[in-house]
């Protein structure tokens, strides 16, 4: 029983962790992309389409990643090259993503999808309890772990990561030092898009292997809140993702169990918890200021 619940929590937390770690990198470079929801849903529909048309869910995952990354490029072009307002452009990306995915996915509604098969580690997966949880998962779970470790190393141990953080904290100085601000930001935005796309692929190939309109159901927004919750640190994204995943799953179990609370109120929980968590994290103005990348959301036009 506990193992089954933990398994579903892992499945629910994985897309949140992946999307949030991507957005974390984008925001560390100083770009606020509110289009996570839109990129995620585009990833979901591209992944489903890819897997349906090629018959291979693995290729589907690849399509999801590509879809998310390409879609984020649109955001990058507007905010980085044309210097549009990042908040408004992110919203536009979400609105367009929700519409476009509905249009693309129209012919896939009701078609049963192919579930991404787990990768089984021999021997290790036979360990009782831990084995099935950690060593008998699909590739997106392993990728989520690898992404956390990789991003943590990249941001805090590598030279390029240092430059990226410098850009996020003060793009003017970084530019003066000869760092290519725009190019780095393009890459950061695309990384965020690719991650959101991968998270979407997990939704339409693992979480519920089918295409349903608006299936991201606000997860992109929760991922955005996760980044704030994590105060822009990778391991906290991981922890936060699992807390949010657990809340989502436990309320589902509570609904099935019938504890006398109307199901709608239980469904509100993930959103209400997000608000409460935001309050707890943000109420200390000083720590928030220290952690937030200083040029987050500010437009940058190189003076020549």
Partner 1 sequence: MRIELEKRASASSLFQIVSPLLALALTLLFGALMFWMLGKNPGHALYAFFIEPLLEVWSLHELAIKAAPLILIAVGLSVCYRSNNWNIGAEGQFTIGAIVGSILPVLVPQWHSPMVLPLMLIMGAIGGALFAAIPALLKTRFNTNEILVSLMLVYIAQLFLDWLVRGPWRDPKGFNFPQTISFAKEAVLPELLESGRAHWAIVFALVAAVGVWFMMRYMLKGFEVTVLGRSERAGRFAGFSSRRMVWFSMMLSGAFAGLAGISEVSGSINHLQPSISPGYGFTAIIVAFLGRLNPLGIIVSGFILALTYLGGEAAQLSIGVSDKVTRVFQGLLLFFVLSCDTLILYRIRIIFGSDRAAAEGRS
Binding site residues, partner 1, CB under 8 A: 34, 74, 78, 81-85, 87-89, 91-92, 95-100, 102-103, 106, 218, 221, 224-225, 228, 262, 264-265, 267-268, 271-272, 274-275, 278-279, 282-283, 285, 288, 301, 304
Looking at the Cβ atoms of 235 and 271, the one nearer to partner 1 is 271
Both tokens of 295, joined, read 């040029």
Strands 136-137 and 119-120: antiparallel
Looking at the Cβ atoms of 51 and 274, the one nearer to partner 1 is 274
Residue among 227, 265, 182, 288 at smallest CA distance from 21: 227
Q: Would you say 3 and 183 are in contact if contact means Cβ atoms under 8 Å apart?
A: no
Work out how close the CB of 233 gets to partner 1 at its nearest, in angstroms, rounded to a whole number: 17
Looking at the Cβ atoms of 114 and 182, the one nearer to partner 1 is 182
Looking at the Cβ atoms of 149 and 275, the one nearer to partner 1 is 275
Work out how close the CB of 207 gets to partner 1 at its nearest, in angstroms, rounded to a whole number: 18
Residue in the structure block whose two tokens are 């929980």: 269
Looking at the Cβ atoms of 4 and 275, the one nearer to partner 1 is 275
Q: What are φ and ψ of residue 137, in 5° steps?
A: -115, 170
Residue among 64, 139, 135, 112 at smallest CA distance from 208: 112
Distance CA 118, CA 136 (A): 6
Work out how close the CB of 278 gets to partner 1 at its nearest, in angstroms, rounded to a whole number: 5
Distance CA 192, CA 24 (A): 8
Distance CA 209, CA 113 (A): 5
Work out how close the CB of 74 gets to partner 1 at its nearest, in angstroms, rounded to a whole number: 7
Distance CA 36, CA 137 (A): 25
Work out how close the CB of 277 gets to partner 1 at its nearest, in angstroms, rounded to a whole number: 10
Work out how close the CB of 105 gets to partner 1 at its nearest, in angstroms, rounded to a whole number: 9
Looking at the Cβ atoms of 58 and 98, the one nearer to partner 1 is 98
**How crowded is residue 173: how many other Cβ atoms within 10 Å of its Cβ?**
12
């Amino acid at each position: 029983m506990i193992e089954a619940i933990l398994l579903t929590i892992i499945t629910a937390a994985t897309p949140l962790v992946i999307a949030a770690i991507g957005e974390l990198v984008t925001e560390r470079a100083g770009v606020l992309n509110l289009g996570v929801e839109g990129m995620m849903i585009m990833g979901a529909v591209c992944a489903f389409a890819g897997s349906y048309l090629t018959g291979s869910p693995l290729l589907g995952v690849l399509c999801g990643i590509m879809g998310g990354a390409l879609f984020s490029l649109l955001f990058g072009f507007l905010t980085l090259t044309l210097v549009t307002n990042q908040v408004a452009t992110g919203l536009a990306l979400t609105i367009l993503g929700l519409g476009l995915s509905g249009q693309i996915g129209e012919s896939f509604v009701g078609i049963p999808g192919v579930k991404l098969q787990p990768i089984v580690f021999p021997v290790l997966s036979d360990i009782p309890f831990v084995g099935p949880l950690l060593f008998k998962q699909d590739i997106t779970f392993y990728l989520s772990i690898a992404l956390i470790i990789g991003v943590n190393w990249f941001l805090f141990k590598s030279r390029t990561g240092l430059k990226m953080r410098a850009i996020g904290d003060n793009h003017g100085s970084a530019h003066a030092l000869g760092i290519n601000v725009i190019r780095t930001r393009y890459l950061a935005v695309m990384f965020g898009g690719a991650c959101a796309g991968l998270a979407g692929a997990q939704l339409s190939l693992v979480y519920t292997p089918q295409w349903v309109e608006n299936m991201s159901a606000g997860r992109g927004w929760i991922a955005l809140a996760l980044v704030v919750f994590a105060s822009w640190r990778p391991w906290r994204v991981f922890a936060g993702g699992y807390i949010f995943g657990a809340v989502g799953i436990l309320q589902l179990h509570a609904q099935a169990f019938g504890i006398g609370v109307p199901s709608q109120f239980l469904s509100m929980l993930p959103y209400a918890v997000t608000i409460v968590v935001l309050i707890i994290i943000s109420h200390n103005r000083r720590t928030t200021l220290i952690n937030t990348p200083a040029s987050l959301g500010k437009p940058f036009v190189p003076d020549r």
